[in-house]
Amino acid sequence: MRKTFEGDAKQTCGQASVNQVQIENLLIPLPPLNEQKRIVEKVEQLMGLCDELEEKLRKSQEDSEKLMETVVRGLLEGAATKI
Which pLDDT value is given to residue 27?
Answer: 83
Dump strand ranges (E) for the chain: 10-12, 15-17
N-term to C-term CA, the chain: 76
The verdict on pTM exceeding 0.75 is no
Q: How far is CA 72 from CA 38, 64, 75, 76, in A?
A: 51, 12, 5, 6
Q: What is the pLDDT of residues 19-77, one digit of tens each?
A: 788 788 888 889 999 999 999 999 999 999 999 999 999 999 999 999 999 999 988 88
Q: What angle do CA 31, 37, 41 make, to 5 degrees?
A: 130
